[in-house]
Chain A
């Protein structure tokens, strides 16, 4: 088994005590298993592979495959934040999209609370859509420009809480806006009337609408101003504390990931090259790629 394929248990309790990391010989890290026996992690990803076919020639035959995600394994424990860093094209977004079945994996298993979700049919996966939500990178792209905020927030509610009437949905939407620090009076506005940061808050509110357990944050701040980034990060942290959420935080900026995450996965060219607790990654990066990434973080 190669260094990258090793199953790593990440067990955090809410008191943020960092847990086990078991890594291969290349990173030279020694595993310290401190995970409580018998508790299953919220999410287990094992040997996940996503290959995209490359078509070519006159008949558009498959010429080869792009190994977008190549044999990746990691776990996410309940209530923790796992950071996923890597440069663009390293496959981090693909992993995130696999978890919500926007992309079908080529091979490997995804287990959510012990249940293999990768093989579920569209119908049987539906309940998991309520549990797993996603926050998207580009706040200018992730809100339908033709829908008002009320409609945007009402959409997930009407799908997963069909018993709600219009009044209840509106109240809930207003509550969600308050929760993400926006004025409930903004319900009638349209996305173009908001700034980037405000839009991202609406995106977060939409993800929260269905009361999820696990949120995949796909570069939620990389399209925002630095000053706004901090407020969004703080909002995400506050919400996590308040609602007991679990995050998979995808980003290319190691500094932000280090700030918000308990545990960090470093990806390069479809593989996880290093995984360790945030502190360890920052203090003593092992893999040359991690070191490079850390050097790229701007400092004053």
Chain B
């Protein structure tokens, strides 16, 4: 039986050998990182064709991370979405609580094969940081996680989890003190320690080969979900939806559906306080082509090419860039990207909690808010698949403050 678990893009068309998805992607990196990035690309090419690697990864995904993740129908939630049927892909049930573990386990195996003894990573919400700290604990690798100072405050639980797992967490105090600045600092670390350090990049962005590599490790999400929904409903969904910050969970879900022309692909970006306020992180909706963190994609920038500080209530989506394959899918019209405000996402978070008994991450709540809108558009015959990319435990402090949940105990 063919494995679901590691199926690198079977079409094999994109990116090009130079790492381009149409006009987007590439390698905009300092010379000091070129040989390291080339080494990752060469090692990854070898692994793609190596059945031992696929077996090793499958063993970890099944017996350690708990894959395949469930597909859950959400009928009481769907009542609020015009009666369309809504299915949730439960990446929140993976070990560590989000989709991030898929990519981490793949890249930790890659780092081991390259003989690296130290791993650095960036994290926004802390989900990638926790997953990385987990993978490093499992394989005995030294782990340093960079996290914006603001994010260390709003995701304090995840800081404690990373430290419990033995990782060093460094609060980044530069710039907007969020995900973008954590990536800057992780790059600075990597340049200085590249001989023994692997940069375990957490989203499907960055210089080639990271956008393709991270996507391939997350393809399992869509491959599983596509099979599961065919088994359960007997047909493909009309639309699939995911939240988009850097875009790793979205590309992981979308990719298996790319050849299915009848399936519309929707990415939901954070509109923060509203697109008109300028306080958002809706890169594909409001940005322009530019270069950030090693690749050409859409970025939020001013007319001089200075990167604009983004805003979102969700630390994991609070990023002024996006993976280059999303930029490509937007430009060719294969995927559609919309923006969801903080308020709409928080309402969706509460609604899913109360109708289905599932507390989603604030990131994933953006996809849920988008799904409510899509469901009403599709009507009662509609069939919708939503990626529930992570669970909301880490967000309880933010949610409690937002909804005034602490006040009842005063």
Q: Do A and B come from one complex?
A: no
B residues with a Cβ closer than 8 A to A are none
